[in-house]
Structure 1
C-alpha cells in the first residue's frame, strides 16, 4: 500500500524487525520471532481511540455533507458539486484508509489477502489523490468567481466532467503502486502469540516489489510532486490572489463611500469588512491545514526512501512516528466538512435541519414528535428572520450614508 507502514518493512528485513520492543525479538538458528501485537495494551488503546475519533468525525461530517447536497436540488451548484466530491473522497479515506492503517499499525505483518492488499492500496491512493485534486478544483472555482467575476462561470456539466477527470487521473497515478503491491511470506520470520508462546504464525508483508530501489524513489518523488507539492503551490497562489483581490475591492469600496471608514482609521486607508476578513482567514486556514496535515507523512516517506534508516531508527519511525503521521494526514479528511460546510450558511442550515430531524426520530410518541417539529420550525424560522432583519438594518444604514 502506498501509505501503509508495512510497505517499509522490506527495507529492514531480515536484519531487523518492525517490533516496537526489541527485547521481544529472539534469533534462534536464523529463525526470528516477533510479537503478534506491536504495542502494549495502553498504547494500542490510545491508537484505537485516536483513530476512532477521526473515523467517526469523518463518516458523520462527510455523510451529512453528501446528504444535504443530494436531497436539496438548490444546493446542486458547481461549488457544492466539488464539495460533494470532496466529501465522497474523504468518505473513502475513512472507509478504506483509517481501519486498515490502524490494524497495520497495531499488529506485526499484513493480516489480509493479496487481493485486499492490491485493492486497499489502490482505493486508498485514489481517494487521497481525488481529495487533493478536488481541493485544487475548489480553489480554481473560487479563484474564477472572485478574481474574474465577469467571466463565464463554470457550468454543472463542466464540473461533472472535471470530477470525472479527477478520478481518472487519480486512478492513473496510482496504477503503478497497485501493480507492484504483493503479499509475501517472510522466510524464517514468525509471529508469537502473547498468551500462548508455543503458538506461532507465519509472517506476511504487503509491500511494493520494485525491480530497482531507484524506481521506488522516482515514483515516490513523482507522487510527492503531484499529490502534495504542486497542488499546495497552486492552492497557495490562488488563495493569495483571492486575498489580494478582496483587499483591493474593500479599498475601492471605502474610496467610494468615505463616510464608512471607522474613526480610528486614517483617511485613505482601505477598510476591510469583518466578513471579508473571515473569508481571507478561512482561505489561509484551508491552505495551511492541508500543508501541515500531510507534511509529516510525506516527510517520513521521503526520509525512508532516500535516507534508508535501519535498526532502532527504522523501528522508532514505523512504530510511533508513522501512526501519528497517518492520524494527522487522515484528520484532514475529518475537518474538511467543518471548513467547507460549517462556514457556509446553506450547509449550516442543513446541519441544523439534520440535527432537528435526528431529535424527532429519537422521540417515539406522536406528541413529542409534534413538539420537536414545532421547536425545529420555530428555530429555523427564527434564524431566517434574524438574518432578514440584519440585512434590512444594513440596507437602511447604507441608504443613510448615500
Structure 2
C-alpha cells in the first residue's frame, strides 16, 4: 500500500480531516451567532489553518496527477521513491504555511457592544491594496493554477488510456494493469471535479467581496455566505466516499 499515490492520498485525507476537526463547526457557530467565543489565539489559527489545509489538499491532488502522468505517459522513467515523496509532502506543507501566514499575522479580535468579532486587520497603504492582492494570489495559487495543471495532465492521460483500445491478443496481466490504471485515474478525476465544484463559489464570493463590496450590503448576504461556506467545507466528506466506491484497495 506504500505507493506514491497512496502517500499523497494520506496527506490529502489528513489535511481535510484536520480542517473538519478544527474549523468547520467553529466557523459555522461564529457565522450563525456573529460572536467570537474562542479568544485571540484560536482566532489567528482559525483564519490561518484553512488556507494551509486547502493548499496542502489541492497540491496533493496535483502531485497525484503529475505522478499518474509520469507513470502512464513516460512509463520507463524512474518513479519517485517513498523518501522523495515524503520530502515533497513536507515542502508542500511548508509552502502552505508560508502562504497562510499573513492571515495569522494580521488576525485580531475586537470587542463590540454585546459581542466580539474575529477579523483580519489588513494594513492600509495609499498605493497598494494588500488585501485585494493577497486574495487574488490565493485564488490563483490554490484554485485556478493547480486545476489547470491537473486538467492538462488528466486530459493527456485520459486520451492515452481510453482512446487506444486493448489489443485483442494482450495478456490478462496487461489488461488487468490497464484497467487498474483507468480506475485510479477515474477516481482522481472525480475527486478533482468534486473539489472544483465545491470551492468555486467560495473563491468567487471572496473575489467579489474585494472588487464589488456594495453587493455585500444586501439583506440575505449572510445566508448566501453560510450556504457557500457549507458547500466548500462539505468537500472534506466526499473523498472517503469516492475512495470507497472507486478503489477496491
Interval of TM-score (by shorter of Structure 1 and Structure 2): 0.7 to 0.9
Shift of 1:131: 1.1
SS in 1 for 2:123: coil
- Which residue in 2 is equivalent to 1:222? 137
- CA gap of 1:311–1:243, structure 2 versus 1, over 3 A, is closer
Structure 1 equivalent of residue 118 of structure 2: 206
Deviation at 1:285, TM superposition (A): 2.4
Contact in 2 for aligned 1:92/1:124 (Cα 8 Å): no
1:248 to partner: Cα distance: 4.3
Unaligned 5+ segments in structure 2 are 171-177
Once the two structures are superposed, the pairs formed by residues 1-400 of structure 1 within 5 Å of their partners are: 75-186=1-112, 190=113, 201=114, 203-212=115-124, 214-250=129-165, 253-254=166-167, 257=169, 281-309=186-214, 312-313=217-218, 315-317=219-221, 319-346=222-249
Count of residue correspondences: 239
Per-residue CA shift, 1:264-306, capped at 9, x if unaligned?
Answer: xxxxxxxxx9877766654442332121110011111111111
Is the contact between residue 198 and residue 231 of structure 2 (CA under 8 Å) also seen in structure 1?
A: yes
Change (3 A) 1:226 1:160: same
C-alpha deviation, 1:233, in angstroms: 0.7
Question: Aligned equivalents of 2:16 and 2:137: distance in 1?
Answer: 22
Does the Cα contact within 8 Å between 2:48 and 2:100 map onto a contact in 1?
Answer: yes
Q: Specify the SS of the correspondent of 2:110.
A: strand
Cα distance, 1:338 vs. partner? Answer: 2.4
Question: SS of the residue aligned with 2:78?
Answer: coil
3-state SS in 2 of match to 1:110: coil
Q: Does structure 1 retain, via aligned residues, the 8 Å contact 2:154–2:189?
A: yes
- What are the Cα deviations for residues 341-386 of structure 1, in whole angstroms up to 9, with x where unaligned? 442221xxxxxxxxxxxxxxxxxxxxxxxxxxxxxxxxxxxxxxxx
Q: Structure 1 length normalisation: TM-score?
A: 0.56
* Counterpart-to-counterpart distance in 1, 2:246 and 2:158: 17
CA distance in 2, matches of 1:236, 1:275: 20
State which drifts further: 158-167 or 131-140: 131-140
Partners of 1:277 and 1:151 in 2: CA distance: 20
Change (3 A) 1:326 1:257: same
CA distance in 1, matches of 2:71, 2:229: 34
In structure 2, distance between residues paired with 1:91 and 1:228:
19
Quote the Cα distance in structure 1 between the aligned partners of 2:96 and 2:182: 34
Whole-angstrom distance in 1 between the partners of 2:7 and 2:184: 20
Q: Which residue of 2 aligns with 1:35?
A: none
Secondary structure in structure 1 of the residue aligned to 2:213: coil
Tell me the SS of whatever aligns to 1:321: helix
- Superposition TM-score, scaled by structure 2 size: 0.88
Q: 1:182 to 1:341 in 2, by over 3 A?
A: same
Bigger Rg, which one? 1
Change (3 A) 1:283 1:124: closer
- SS, match of residue 299 in structure 1: helix
Q: CA 1:79–1:277 in structure 2 vs 1: closer, same or farther (change >3 Å)?
A: closer
